[in-house]
Chain A
Amino acid sequence: GAGVSQTPSNKVTEKGKYVELRCDPISGHTALYWYRQSLGQGPEFLIYFQGTGAADDSGLPNDRFFAVRPEGSVSTLKIQRTERGDSAVYLCASSSHGQETQYFGPGTRLLVL
């Protein structure tokens, strides 16, 4: 079956602009995660959804970052007033209810100029 998909695969924007990153989880997976991976580092947790609600948003770095999952499937990560330090690969993962295994998408490479 289809895995986790993310769009766009690459995004170049200018400092101060607003961006939206989309994640389509594996069908039927109730849990959805966003991570951020800087060059040469391991992924860092941003936010986790169980269904439609954000169960844990402790990893969001500041209030410029926001994520939604209105229907419990697709999720959008929104970044306002982007800064050069936001440049990274944003990874989405999903898991099935009761399972620890998280399946990752290919990521969106965000470059803020």
Chain B
Amino acid sequence: QQQVKQSPQSLIVQKGGISIINCAYENTAFDYFPWYQQFPGKGPALLIAIRPDVSEKKEGRFTISFNKSAKQFSLHIMDSQPGDSATYFCAAIPPGTASKLTFGTGTRLQVTL
């Protein structure tokens, strides 16, 4: 059972454009939603995270939008740069710290010149 569904599988965006990646979750017990960025040959690195009591969180060029009623959240990358080319994973975690992450299947982003 896939508890976090992610789309699209791959995405090509021109430099300066907006990259949008969407995720939907099923378990209403999830209460922390991080996004991870992974470069080839590296482990995932935390990019930005949100809790469901907030509808939007922005950090630099990265914004998470959260729709609790729809059980959906998305990552927006503004002014996308070639250095943003990587695989992005949404994830979710239930209440209580030190809990296991449930990841989406990933979106491979390519930012072209």
Interface residues of A (CB under 8 A from B): 4, 30-31, 33, 35, 40-45, 48, 50, 55-56, 59, 91, 93, 95, 97-107
The 5 closest A-B pairs by CB, nearest first: A42-B103, A104-B43, A45-B100, A31-B98, A104-B44
- Residue B93 interfacial (CB < 8 Å): yes
When C-beta atoms are compared, the residue in chain A nearest to B46 turns out to be A101
| B47: min CB distance to chain A, Å | 11
Complex CA distance for A50 and B42, rounded to whole angstroms: 25
B100 touches A100 (CB 8 A): no
**Are A42 and B104 CB-contacts (below 8 A) given A48-B98, A95-B98, A100-B97?**
yes
Check if A107 sits within 8 Å of B43, measured CB to CB.
yes
Contact residues, B81-113 vs A (CB, 8 A): 89, 91, 93, 97-106
Q: Chain B contacts of A4 at CB under 8 A?
A: 43
CB contact between A100 and one of B32, B45, B103, B106 (< 8 Å): that residue: B32
**Bound-complex Cα distance A94 to B103 (A):** 16
What are 21 sample pairs from A and B whose C-beta atoms fall under 8 A apart?
A30-B98, A35-B101, A42-B6, A42-B89, A42-B91, A42-B103, A43-B89, A44-B103, A48-B99, A48-B100, A50-B98, A91-B44, A93-B43, A98-B97, A100-B34, A100-B97, A101-B34, A101-B49, A102-B46, A103-B46, A105-B43
Tell me which residues across on chain A come within 8 A of B97, comparing CB atoms.
Answer: 31, 95, 97-100
A4, B46: Cα distance in complex, Å: 14
Q: List B contacts of A107 (CB < 8 A).
A: 42-43
Nearest CB on B from A52, distance (A): 14
CB < 8 Å neighbour of B105 from A31, A42, A45, A98? A42
> For residue A30, which residues in chain B have a CB less than 8 angstroms away from its CB?
98
CA distance A107 to B103 in the complex (A): 16
